[in-house]
Chain A
């Protein structure tokens, strides 16, 4: 029987300025190509600005494919009370987490406004997925400051450090038990295996950053890591389902 797969990082958005149109239908089609049962979608830009309708866009996407798509709200921390209100509204709509991209917002992962949002998410049992790569404000050590300040929050390092910061991402996950590593886009299958060996299979989760990135390729990357079947089951689905099902 084929393993169940949950994709923890997909995008739905429409950005004419970049020529990127990423819709729910494309996400699900690409999930089907890769044998993915459920996926978590998020926008490319933030709410309340640049896209004040981001929550509705995602809610509609999820409603179009019941049981297949969940949503994380991507929010700009600088909007203070308004940002918190957007996040609370997201949970009312059934969203499952918070997404932060410090490269686009230039909000430091551990500034007060960002920590406030992370704590709101944690109060719902929901994780915060950070874009975590090679750029300033988004490196593992920068995000580690947030993990240290919010031990009650689950912090997911999306892309687990990108091209150059993967070793630091694994190190941060070793140091903070509330940090998880998410496999999308970074190009090293062997580092997935190393991550599982060093932080355990419960804190590594599969994602694709699709649909512009190929979910099928990203699945292949995890398979090439050569994990044991029980480890692979956790990375592909068990960890994501535990997180998604724990949100209230």
Chain B
């Protein structure tokens, strides 16, 4: 963060070697406590674990003080549009907290799959990683824009989006409130990722939203 001039960040649990997401959430909470306000943590659960996932999520949100839900359908292997996901979105929504979805993964978290979930919970804010697409041909852009169009409560992050014209087009069509800078560190390099926002043709006021104000609003930090 320091190397890229980043003051604060949202920290998500990584997939732990022992598959213990409850412990991974505790590690994030410890990191949040140790960094003097620079990190805001979110909780990760596996919806396939049913009631246990709901218990772990309640513990992470109510006792550990984490500020949102992080879902990674690719690493936990479930379709984000599957109804099984609803049972962990509900507790986040009841607390007014956002849901981050690791998006753009084939079969599991394609743009229109993410928006299908978002449409079932219009009162919940969903944030999709990777610009809702992981496609080096640019073939994911149309579905990404359709997803944004059909779910007003769906926002996307900039990490790894190599098409500058897509990022600029999203702001032009949907407004800067719908997009957040993100680095996906340590998978991606924050020193490069921040340039995608700093160097694109955005109005200064929009860039303020993208670089921080939107995250402050959504995560209430």
Contact = CB atoms under 8 A, between A and B. Distances in A.
Interface of A: 101, 103, 131, 133-135, 138, 159, 162-164, 184-190, 209, 212-214, 216-217, 220-221, 224
B137 A212 contact: no
B163 A217 contact: no
Main secondary structure of the interface of A (DSSP, over half): loop
A220 B195 contact: yes
A162 B195 CA distance: 19
Interface string B174-194: 000000000000001101110
A103 B164 CA distance: 22
A101 B106 CA distance: 20
A164 B165 CA distance: 22
A217 B192 contact: yes
Given A213-B164, A214-B200, A217-B164, A186 B189 contact: no
The interface centre, meaning the residue of B163, B165, B188, B191 with most chain A CB atoms within 10 A of its CB, is B165
Contacts of B134: 134, 163-164
A134 B136 contact: yes
B192 A103 contact: no
A217 B199 contact: yes
B135 interface: yes
A106 B199 CA distance: 35
Contacts of A184: 162
A224 B106 CA distance: 29
A217 B196 contact: yes
B163 A212 contact: yes
Contacts of B160: 163, 187
A103 B195 contact: no
A188 B136 contact: no
Contacts of A135: 135, 137, 139
Nearest to B161: A187
B136 A186 contact: yes
B137 A133 contact: yes
Contact of A217 (B137, B139, B195): B195
B191 A133 contact: no
Closest 5 CB pairs of A and B: A162-B136, A133-B136, A185-B162, A212-B165, A214-B164
A187 B162 contact: yes
7 contacts: A133-B136, A162-B135, A163-B134, A212-B163, A212-B165, A213-B162, A217-B195
The interface centre, meaning the residue of A135, A163, A209 with most chain B CB atoms within 10 A of its CB, is A163
Contacts of A159: 136
Contacts of A134: 106, 134-136
Contacts of A220: 192, 195
The interface centre, meaning the residue of B163, B166, B192 with most chain A CB atoms within 10 A of its CB, is B192
Nearest to A22: B165
Given A103-B137, A135-B137, A190 B192 contact: no
Contacts of A216: 195, 199
Contacts of A224: 189, 191-192
